[in-house]
């Protein structure tokens, strides 16, 4: 009798006790938490694939150069890309000395940008408003210009130590306006040039103050004594010249099929 009871007791201990089923409300909470975690992970993968990885590859690609915009530039054609002063640009291709192919990291728009509107210097001093890479004599000459408020200053490379400077610095010296842009295709649309005051007349033609892409330029209206083909050939030759001591020809308004006078824009 005792042996039979002992045997039954051992068999009952060997039997597995089924786990208690969790409460329905708790189980729904577990399912909701797992679903939310799955959705968050999926969203992170989508953002990483579509946003973070392309941006990282574009900015840190060995085939690109980091540039900082010195001036704001509004695009005038579909091939160009707009940017604001201080924007970071990833330069991918040097189309010419004047124009570069780049991507605006802020807007993710890609297109052509003017090389004179950006700097490849990584040092923050080179993009500050007050920083100018000039000598002490040049800085003194610029600060003596009329119309500047008291306290106007320039940051420049140090030449030697000067003591006794007690004036409070308040305003950085304004930088000169951005340079006029040379036309990429030699020819300039006449509608983009607004003629102003005539300043000179000579044997070659008349000279006007003009505005081209929001910049003040000089427009030279060629006389009709020369053939149009000859004037255009001269313009193409001058358009290829580039030297710090030469006045740069930005482009020419007119072609062989145009009846209006040819304009040289400098």
Query: Could you tell me the CATH number of the domain that includes residue 249?
Result: 3.30.200.20
Domain termination residue (choose one: 178, 212, 246)? 178
Average pLDDT, the chain: 75
Question: What is the per-residue pLDDT across 67-109, written as a single tens digit (0 to 9) for each?
Answer: 888 888 888 888 888 998 888 888 887 767 788 888 888 888 8
* Range in 4-18, 57-71, 118-132 with the lowest mean pLDDT: 4-18
Average pLDDT, integer, range 230-259: 79
pLDDT bracket for residue 22 (50, 70, 90): low
Q: Of residues 181 and 187, which shows the higher confidence score?
A: 187
Residues 248 and 199 in one domain: yes
Q: Of residues 202 and 28, which shows the higher confidence score?
A: 202
Instruction: Give per-residue burial for 174-211: e unless 16+ CB within 10 Å, then b.
Output: eeeebebbbbbebbbeeeebeeeeeeeeeeebbbbebe
Q: Of residues 166 and 152, which shows the higher confidence score?
A: 152
Residues 227 and 197 in one domain: yes
Angle at 194 between CA 188 and CA 197, to 5 degrees: 130
Range of the domain at 146: 127-158+170-178
> Structural domain tally of the chain?
3
pLDDT of residue 184 exceeding 60: yes
Domain contains 24: no
Q: What does the pLDDT read at residue 153?
A: 82
Domain contains 40: no
The answer for residues whose C-beta is within 8 angstroms of residue 94's C-beta and 6 or more apart is: 100, 101, 115
Domain contains 21: no
Q: What does the pLDDT read at residue 220?
A: 87
Residues 60 and 106 in one domain: yes
Domain contains 20: no
Q: What does the pLDDT read at residue 7?
A: 65
CATH number of the domain where residue 97 is located: 2.30.30.40
Percent of the chain surpassing pLDDT 90:
0
Residues 210 and 248 in one domain: yes
Domain contains 1: no
* Range in 12-21, 157-166, 218-227, 252-261 with the lowest mean pLDDT: 12-21
Q: What does the pLDDT read at residue 9?
A: 58
CA 91 to each of CA 75, 112, 234, 250: distance values in angstroms, whole numbers, following the listed order = 16, 9, 33, 23
Domain contains 10: no
Domain contains 17: no
Q: What does the pLDDT read at residue 191?
A: 83
Q: What does the pLDDT read at residue 125?
A: 54
Residues 132 and 153 in one domain: yes
pLDDT of residue 4 exceeding 80: no
Q: What does the pLDDT read at residue 173?
A: 74
Residues 199 and 144 in one domain: no
Domain contains 9: no
CA nearest neighbour of 221 among 212, 213, 210: 210
């Amino acid at each position: 009798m005792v042996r039979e009871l002992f045997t039954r007791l051992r068999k009952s201990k060997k039997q597995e006790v089924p786990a208690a089923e969790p409460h329905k409300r708790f189980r729904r909470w577990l399912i909701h938490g797992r679903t939310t975690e799955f959705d968050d992970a999926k969203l992170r993968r989508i953002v990483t694939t579509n946003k973070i990885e392309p941006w990282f590859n574009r900015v840190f690609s060995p085939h690109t150069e980091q540039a900082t915009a010195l001036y704001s530039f509004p695009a005038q054609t579909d091939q160009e890309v707009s940017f604001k002063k201080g924007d970071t640009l990833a330069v991918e291709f040097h189309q010419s000395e004047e124009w570069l192919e780049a991507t605006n990291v802020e807007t993710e728009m890609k297109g052509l940008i003017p090389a004179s509107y950006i700097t490849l210097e990584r040092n923050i001093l080179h993009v500050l408003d007050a920083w100018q890479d000039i000598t002490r004599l040049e800085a003194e000459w610029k600060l003596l210009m009329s119309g500047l408020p008291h306290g106007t200053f320039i940051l420049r490379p140090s030449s030697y130590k000067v003591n006794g400077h007690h004036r409070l610095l308040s305003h950085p010296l304004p930088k000169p306006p951005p340079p006029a842009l040379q036309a990429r295709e030699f020819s300039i649309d006449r509608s983009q040039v607004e003629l102003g005051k005539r300043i000179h007349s000579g044997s070659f033609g008349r000279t006007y103050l003009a505005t081209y892409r929001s910049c003040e330029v000089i427009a030279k209206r060629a006389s009709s004594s020369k053939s149009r083909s000859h004037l255009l050939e001269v313009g193409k030759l001058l358009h290829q010249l580039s030297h710090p001591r030469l006045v740069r020809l930005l482009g020419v308004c007119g072609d062989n099929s145009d009846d209006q006078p040819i304009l040289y824009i400098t």
